[in-house]
Amino acid sequence: MKKIAVFLSIIFIGLIANAQFSVRLVVSSVATRAQDDIYVSGNFNGWNPKDEKYKLKVFGNGRKSIVINDLAAGVYAFKFTRGGFEKVETTNDGRDISDRIVEVNADVSLDLSIAGWKDDYPDKPKRYTASPQVKIIDTAFKMPQLARNRRVWIYFPKSYSQSSKTYPVIYLNDGQNLFNEQTAAFGEWGVDECLDSLQNQIGKEAIIVGIDHGGAKRMTEYNPYDDQKFGKGEGKEYADFLINTLKPYIDNTYRTKKSAAYTLVGGSSMGAVISLYAVLEYPQVFGGALLFSPAFWVTPALYEAASKFTTSNMPRFYFYAGGKESTTMLSDMEKMIGILQLKNRVQIRKTVNPLGQHHEPSWRAEFPEAYRWLMKDY
C-alpha cells in the first residue's frame, strides 16, 4: 500500500508540475485616468509595459480585466501600466510600489484596484549619489559596430591616484543603475559606496567600467540571437564593441591588468545573458562573469553555445537568482550551470535568495558577495 501511495504521490506532483493554469486579473477601480488603456507587465511577458496581448479589456460597471492563460505553476510578479514605466501604478501619494505577486498552483482570480499613476505626481529631483571615485568617461562614447553613441562610466579604487599600481577591470552592463540614483529608474546598485568600504576590508581592488544600456534597444543589444518577439539580435556587435573598441581604450588610457585572468564582465537579466555570451565567445578576453538573474528564456540558443565552449583558461562564473522571479528562472539557471560544470577548469558559484525578486534592490544586496568571490584569487 505504501508503494502505491508513493507512486500516486509522484504522479500527482508530476501532474501539478506540468499543468497549465489561468490567472484572471480584474481591476475594479482606478483612482485617475480610468478611460486610458491599461496593460499588465510582468515576468510572464518580459516586463513589456505596452504589450498589446496583455492589454486589459473593458467589461461591466467600468471594470477592466484580462485572463492570462497557459501559465505553469509558480510565482509571478507583475504591475499595471498605461503603456510605459513612466506611467506605472503607484500608491495614492505617488510612491513606488513593490511588484504584485501571485502564486499559481491552480486557476486564480484576483480583484484589484489601482491607487495612482507615476505620471500623476511631479517627479521630485533625484539626488546625484555617485561617489567622487566615479567619473563619466564620455556621454557619447562611439560604438562603431552599432553606429550609436553611449554614456560610459568608470569607478577608480581610492588608491588609484596615490599609486602606480595596475588593476583588474570589471565591465558591467546597465551602467545607469550602478552608481547614481539620479540615472537609475528603479534604484541603483550602490557599487561605488559598496567598494569604497569593501575594498579596504578585503584588500581586493578593481576598476569598474559601466556601460549604459540602449533604452529601447536594450533587448536587442543584449541578445546575440534574433528573436521573433524583440527583433534582430545585436549582441554579437555589442560584444565586439566591448572587446575591440571599449576595452582597448580603457587599457590604453588607464592602468589596468590587461589579461583575461584580470578582466571580468557582468550584468543582470539580459545584461547577464550578454555577459555570459561574451565569455563563451571570447574566453581569451574575459576570464569570468557576474550573472544575476540571467534571462535565458529569451536566448535558448545560448545553451548550445555553452555546450560547445572550450578554453585553456580557468573562467569563473557567479550565478545568482531569486526565488520570487519567473517560474523558470531557477531551472533555467540550473540547466546552464549543469552544462558548464561538465567543462574542465571552470569555477562556478551559485547563490539563490528564496525571497529575491527580479529588481535592482535584490541585485544591490547580492553585489558585495559576488565581488568577494570573483576577486578571491587576486
Instruction: Provide the grid cell at 299.
Output: 536566448
Tell me the pLDDT tens digit for each residue of 7-64: 444 444 444 446 799 999 999 999 999 999 999 998 888 889 999 999 999 988 889 9
**The predicted structure's pLDDT at residue 6:** 45
Instruction: Delimit the domains of the chain by residue range.
Output: 21-120, 134-374
CATH classification code of 21-120? 2.60.40.10
What is the rounded average pLDDT of the residues 226-238? 93
Tell me the pLDDT tens digit for each residue of 149-159: 999 999 999 99
What is the rounded average pLDDT of the residues 89-115? 91
Tell me the pLDDT tens digit for each residue of 255-296: 999 999 999 999 999 999 999 999 999 999 999 999 999 999
**The predicted structure's pLDDT at residue 352:** 97
**The predicted structure's pLDDT at residue 8:** 44
**The predicted structure's pLDDT at residue 18:** 62
What is the rounded average pLDDT of the residues 340-368? 94
Tell me the pLDDT tens digit for each residue of 115-143: 999 999 877 778 899 999 999 999 999 99
- Gap between the Cα atoms of 227 and 106, Å rounded: 31
What is the rounded average pLDDT of the residues 316-342? 94
User: Taking the model in full, what pTM does it have?
Assistant: 0.77
**The predicted structure's pLDDT at residue 214:** 94
The closest alpha carbon to 143, from 134, 151, 154, belongs to 151
Q: Is the pLDDT of residue 3 over 80?
A: no
**Into which CATH architecture does domain 134-374 fall?**
3-Layer(aba) Sandwich (3.40)
What is the rounded average pLDDT of the residues 305-311? 95
**The predicted structure's pLDDT at residue 2:** 47
Q: What percent of the chain has pLDDT over 90?
A: 79
Tell me the pLDDT tens digit for each residue of 177-214: 999 999 998 899 999 999 999 998 999 999 999 999 99
